[in-house]
Structure 1
Amino acid sequence: MIALFFAIFILSPVVTLAESGGDGGIVRLQQTRTAPLTIEEVLARIELTHPLLRATGVERKQARAKILKALGAWEPTVKNITETARIQIWNFLAYDHVSTGGFNDTKLEVGHPWGFRILGGIRNGFGDRSIVGTPPQSGGTVALIPDLQLFYPQQQIIVGGSVHLLRGLMVNDEYAEFQQAELAGPLAEVKVAQKRQDLYLAGAIQYWDWQLAVKQAEVRKQNLAVAEARFEQIEGQAKAGKVSPLDVVEIGQEVQRRREAAIAAQRKVELEQYKLSLFLWENGEPVTPRPEWAPEFQGETPLPTEEEIAAYKVEAKEDRPEVRALYIEAKMNNIDLKLAKNYLLPKFDFEGGRMDAPADWIVGVGYRYATQFAMPLFQREGRGKVLYAEAEQQQLVLSQVYAEQQVSIDVDNWLSAIVRARDRVRAATEAYRLAKALEEGERKRFDMGISSILFVNMREQNAVEAAFELYQARYDYDLARGGLLLARGALSKPVGDVVLAKYGDPLTAAGKNGYKKSGRD
């Protein structure tokens, strides 16, 4: 009765905490669930609902925002300008005269990434009538258009533009910003893949930690149950005078020792299940897994062939987010390098078009054409930009070489881990079998009266340690298999839609957050 009460006392916190909080439907689903929690489901739920993966998807929106911002440099712009001027003429040779003239411009200005801008529009002139000549007589309209007249004498077509002839031609700050903004989209995908890889890896490790803790706790509980049953047996024998009361004390001490170990193992299960719940989300809340959901560790799988290993290394260099990010950074640096070399060219610009001055309507039609030439004598700024970009390029090349070799070594490393873990599982399995055989043999000797309770406890404890070693070896084997998936870059890829459909809607998956939807951004 005491053992039953204590078992209920140990198990009741797990049930209570697993059922506390959250939506009632989720709790009922947890209570009625009988299927084991698989690693496939853990990864699928991360892909479907994990908040951090959904937050990283916002990088896609930010990438589109960078493109929109860069395109603003050549945004077609409508301008409407109205200017007027009043000129008073007075000297001792002529009579006093006041003239008023002005214009209203409506024009469209458009830029181009290659470094030139053009504008075109309509100018409507206005002004008073001059009094000219001797004797004074009425003159013509001040705003009379002498060229490019449109529909009436006061209306004119206006055109103009500017262009970079050397520095800034086809390579300029605005165009470089736009080209780098175009790479922000692929870089955002790399960041999402990196976050997915980190979450998949952390979720898988936590799943195996929880699985290991549950299995080891089961061993502790079974070991405790055996000791409690033996305590009742020996206690009855002691009352009948068949064994020494000292044996009762010894087995009682062993029960308490195993009970303490079972409590610690149960606490370990609770800790790991709460950690695992942060990877299992439903309706915006983490779902705490139950111990009975933990399946057995998977068995041995065939090792990859030499051809498959070579393909894994090629796949790793193409799919690992760490390597892909360096490739994109190298492309961005090439843009900076081209821009830096363009700074070594002299500045030579040309612009022309109708002058924006109301006085032109009074004194005549004015056009402005200008060229501007400037060249630094020592080119310090340009040479500094080129030197910095080239140094960064060298740094990226070395980083790429290291990253490619690193992912290749990762494949070999995790393959070695699989082989050694497999050998450990085989050795631990045989050691556990022998420990159980010794345990059963020692119990038979104890029942025949040729052994003591001390040796029985030692044999049982050795069997528990052998079981722990076996579970630890199986844990390491699964961890090594997951590490090989990491080394290949497979964890950076989303779970297939067929698998996601078992646990949710693939269209609303957290991993797809940030993609452009219909309509304008």
Structure 2
Amino acid sequence: MRKFILLLFLFFSFQWTFGQEVVQDTLRFQDFLEWMRAFHPVSRQADITLEMGAMEVRTARGGFDPLIYGNLDQKTYKNTSYYDRREAGVTIPTMAGVELLGTFEQNSGQFLDPENSVPTGGLFSAGAAVNIGQGLILDERRAALRQAKIYQQSTEAERLALLNELYLKGAETYWKWSESYSNMMAFEEAVRLTQIRYNAVKRSFEQGDVAAIDTVEAYTQLLSRQYRLQGLQNQFFVQSQMLSAFLWNEEEEPMVLQEGVIPQTLGSQDDFAINNEELRTLVGNHPQLRIADFELASLDVERRLKSQSLLPVVKLKYNFLVESL
């Protein structure tokens, strides 16, 4: 997959490095989080969970869509119409558990069963049906809708859980990157001071003030610190590549940090200090705890539905008949 160079001029602040002619770009921690939230695949996956919850509710609401049906039953033999039964109707379930009914029936024929006899113009009926036993409090349609709404609420908590995990890993990687940069800068300063010391010892030796062994000791210390600095530079490079794994563009393609980009340094312990009182309040709203609560709520709906199956099946139905409209 082709990688792109991250153009940090969009949202990075510029800081001048004194004694240098170049401008170093600082990737602030807050900007990093915002960029990761906007374009990281896991962040987009978290948003999709909300759509899944909405689709689940929409599917459950489909159980309350009107049901239109029709029936045609005919028998003709030797040009004789034995019977012709026609029926059409609609059933409308409601959230209250009441079904609204509407039918039209028109029957004819020489050998029509008397119980199917209706006026010549047909018979309209309108009525309602309600369960007064099993299904009075809760039925499968209403239970499915309640569970779908609970699932929709849980998808928000699942989304927050995914984002929290992403932020945790991203923040940990960012501050390791910042730590490696601070260590590298500290050793660059140490190498600079060691170089100054070595030059001073060397001049003192040339003037006869110190022994030759002192220059060897100073040079050995310089080489040791230069070696450690090289290791820290390699570590900073590795941490930069690890941070790049959290940077993606709008086309969902990975990006890499531009050379010369530096992290925000942690100025003091108070910059990102946690308020203990606020933490105690937020713990109760932790996404994982909320997900567990939603699972319990869904199980409670299922328990109540099963308890309804212990009741007898008693259905009250009323139809108002009209010969013609």
TM over 0.5: same fold? yes
Query: What does the per-residue CA deviation read over 1:140-189, in whole Å, with 9 as the maximum and x for residues that have no partner?
Result: x999x954x4xxx2433255765433122221222111101111222111
How far is the alpha carbon of 1:221 from its aligned partner? Answer: 1.7
One-letter amino acid of the structure 2 residue matched with residue 111 of structure 1: P
How far is the alpha carbon of 1:109 from its aligned partner? Answer: 1.9
Does residue 173 (structure 1) correspond to residue 154 (structure 2)? The answer is no
2:276 and 2:191 map into 1 onto residues whose CA distance is 46
How far is the alpha carbon of 1:52 from its aligned partner? Answer: 0.8
Between the two proteins, what is the percent identity of the paired residues? Answer: 17
Does residue 110 (structure 1) correspond to residue 76 (structure 2)? The answer is no
Q: 2:322 aligns to what? A: none
Q: TM-score, normalised by structure 1?
A: 0.50
Which residue of the other structure, out of 36, 42, 59, is the alignment partner of 2:32? 42
Runs of 5+ consecutive residues of structure 2 not aligned to the other structure: 16-24, 320-325
Secondary structure at the aligned position of 1:83 is classed as: strand
Aligned length: 307
Instruction: Tell whether the 8 Å contact from 2:131 to 2:315 is kept in structure 1 after alignment.
Output: yes
Q: TM-score, normalised by structure 2?
A: 0.77
Secondary structure at the aligned position of 2:236 is classed as: helix
Does residue 65 (structure 1) correspond to residue 55 (structure 2)? The answer is yes
Q: 1:119 aligns to what? A: 101
Query: What does the per-residue CA deviation read over 1:418-442, in whole Å, with 9 as the maximum and x for residues that have no partner?
Result: xxxxxxxxxxxxxxxxxxxxxxxxx
How far is the alpha carbon of 1:62 from its aligned partner? Answer: 0.8
Which residue of the other structure, out of 219, 229, 239, is the alignment partner of 1:262? 229
Q: 1:83 aligns to what? A: 73
Q: Would the alpha carbon gap of residues 208 and 40 (structure 1) be closer, same or farther in structure 2, given more than 3 Å must change?
A: same
Q: Would the alpha carbon gap of residues 29 and 99 (structure 1) be closer, same or farther in structure 2, given more than 3 Å must change?
A: closer
2:123 and 2:218 map into 1 onto residues whose CA distance is 111
Q: Would the alpha carbon gap of residues 171 and 220 (structure 1) be closer, same or farther in structure 2, given more than 3 Å must change?
A: same
Secondary structure at the aligned position of 1:36 is classed as: strand
How far is the alpha carbon of 1:54 from its aligned partner? Answer: 1.5
One-letter amino acid of the structure 2 residue matched with residue 123 of structure 1: E
Runs of 5+ consecutive residues of structure 1 not aligned to the other structure: 1-19, 89-96, 131-140, 354-521
Instruction: Tell whether the 8 Å contact from 1:114 to 1:168 is kept in structure 2 after alignment.
Output: no
Structure with the larger helix share: 1
Q: Would the alpha carbon gap of residues 29 and 258 (structure 1) be closer, same or farther in structure 2, given more than 3 Å must change?
A: farther
How far is the alpha carbon of 1:36 from its aligned partner? Answer: 2.9
Structure with the larger strand share: 2
Q: 1:373 aligns to what? A: none
Query: What does the per-residue CA deviation read over 1:11-48, in whole Å, with 9 as the maximum and x for residues that have no partner?
Result: xxxxxxxxx9415x827769995453322222222333
Higher relative contact order (CA 8 A, sep 6+): 2
When structure 1 is superposed on structure 2, of 104-113 and 293-302 the one drifting more is 293-302
The equivalences for 1:452-463 within 5 A come to none
Query: What does the per-residue CA deviation read over 1:390-420, in whole Å, with 9 as the maximum and x for residues that have no partner?
Result: xxxxxxxxxxxxxxxxxxxxxxxxxxxxxxx
The equivalences for 1:346-425 within 5 A come to 346-349=312-315
How far is the alpha carbon of 1:289 from its aligned partner? Answer: 6.0
Compare CA radii of gyration and give the structure with the larger one. 1
Instruction: Tell whether the 8 Å contact from 1:161 to 1:351 is kept in structure 2 after alignment.
Output: yes
Does residue 26 (structure 1) correspond to residue 10 (structure 2)? The answer is no
Does residue 340 (structure 1) correspond to residue 309 (structure 2)? The answer is no
One-letter amino acid of the structure 1 residue matched with residue 290 of structure 2: R
